[in-house]
Amino acid sequence: MINFRESPHLKTRLLAISLSVVVSTALMTLKFYAFWLTGSAAILSDALESIINVVASIFALGSIIFAAKSPDPSHPYGHGKIEFFSAGFEGALIILAACGIFYQAWPRIFQPHDLPHLGGGLLILVGVNLVNLMLGVGLVLVGRRTNSLVLVADGKHILTDVYTTGGVLLGLGLVLWTGWLWLDGVVACLVGVNIVVTGSKLVFQAAAGLMDTSDPRLLEEISAILQKHRKSIWIDVHQLRARRSGDIVHLDFHLILPKDLTLEEGHREVKELERIFQAHFGKTADILIHLDPCARPICPVCGFDPCQHRQADTRQQSLWQAEVVTARPEE
């Protein structure tokens, strides 16, 4: 079941991706109309990529809805990783579209065709590209604000379409000016190369997410929160791990506390840290804190005072930067 209260960004994500589906469908139709007018392989390549835009946006809409479902006994960590599958699927579709473009465009280089109504087709592409630019930028901004890989991926794909259409406009402008019809096939092949690069990046990004590759920005963000709210009773932190999964941030670390604290006192410190992180990341943040008692070697970095167990003076407390809090004790 989807809980809108626990997913404050969900409505924004759904609105953004729904708009992407509607607008992308309309723009795809206009591109195919421009191809029908001109018979240009370059415009066809651009229109074929737009089919992928529409399919990927529909898939992204489904993944956002699925990722927003609350954790259940079968998926105790939630459903957020579906977003990485969506991004990888989109990348694979982009690469597939490039293969179709090469198949259509290569013969046009050696056997060029006339391009009737090319001026009218270019005007249609200019209007389509302006709308696409606004849509792509909007999706990337909303995706970053709501921590949605799917929206960012869809926005970047659309922006790639903007660059692609810009290249098509430039190339066909040269055709219109010079009369070199073989440039139509060349431009289409260049579009295909650009699409392959973009699709490959999306696939690698999705694979990194599925493999829980370290997120340096997230680790630095968490480290800054720990440093900002640091208390003398929190002696040290280590083995920090964190990842994003849809709208949820999962993080865990070891916290060293004075060894004579009661279980109740230690629990109180943990709950305080949980409240701090949930105030920053939202109530959906999944936080696990393992408590360790202090030992003699930790005295030089301990700022807790007075302490009846101290056996060495405090020399210097460590700065809780990402490379420090993620380290294991033996390191």
**78, 70 contact by CB (below 8 A):** yes
Q: What angle do CA 65, 70, 76 make, to 5 degrees?
A: 125
Phi-psi region of 239 (alpha: psi -120 to 50; beta: other; left: phi over 0): left
Domain with CATH 1.20.1510.10 in the chain: 10-210
> Which pTM value belongs to this model?
0.61
**77, 245 contact by CB (below 8 A):** yes
Phi, psi of 289 (to 5 degrees): -120, 120
pLDDT at 260 (0 to 100): 86
Tokens 């929190």 found at:
234
Q: Which DSSP state fits 285? A: -
pLDDT at 80 (0 to 100): 66
For the chain of 331 residues, list the mean pLDDT of each consecutive stretch of 10. Answer: 55 88 94 90 81 77 71 69 74 79 78 80 93 94 82 83 84 82 80 80 80 83 93 91 79 92 93 93 86 86 81 80 80 49
Phi, psi of 2 (to 5 degrees): -85, 130
Residues 6+ away with beta carbon under 8 Å from 190: 167, 171
Gap between the Cα atoms of 99 and 10, Å rounded? 35
Helices (H), the chain: 10-38, 41-67, 82-110, 118-145, 149-178, 183-210, 216-228, 263-281, 322-325
Residues 6+ away with beta carbon under 8 Å from 259: 293, 294, 295, 309
Q: What dotted CATH number matches 10-210?
A: 1.20.1510.10
Q: Which amino acid is at 275?
A: R
Taken as a whole, the chain contains a residue count of 331
Identify the CA nearest to 289 among candidates 326, 253, 251, 243.
Answer: 253
User: So what's the architecture of 216-325 in CATH?
Assistant: 2-Layer Sandwich (3.30)
Gap between the Cα atoms of 196 and 97, Å rounded? 9
Residues 6+ away with beta carbon under 8 Å from 301: 235, 236, 314, 315, 316, 317, 318
Gap between the Cα atoms of 214 and 241, Å rounded? 8
Q: The dihedral of CA 49, 25, 137, 78: what is its sign? A: negative
pLDDT at 309 (0 to 100): 78
Domain with CATH 3.30.70.1350 in the chain: 216-325
Report the Cα 53 to chain-centroid distance in Å: 17
**DSSP secondary structure string, 179-216?**
--TTHHHHHHHHHHHHHHHHHHHHHHHHHHHHTT---H
pLDDT at 4 (0 to 100): 47
Residues 6+ away with beta carbon under 8 Å from 177: none
Distance (Å) of CA 137 to CA 5, 14, 19, 150, 153: 27, 16, 13, 14, 11
Q: What angle do CA 285, 287, 291 make, to 5 degrees?
A: 165
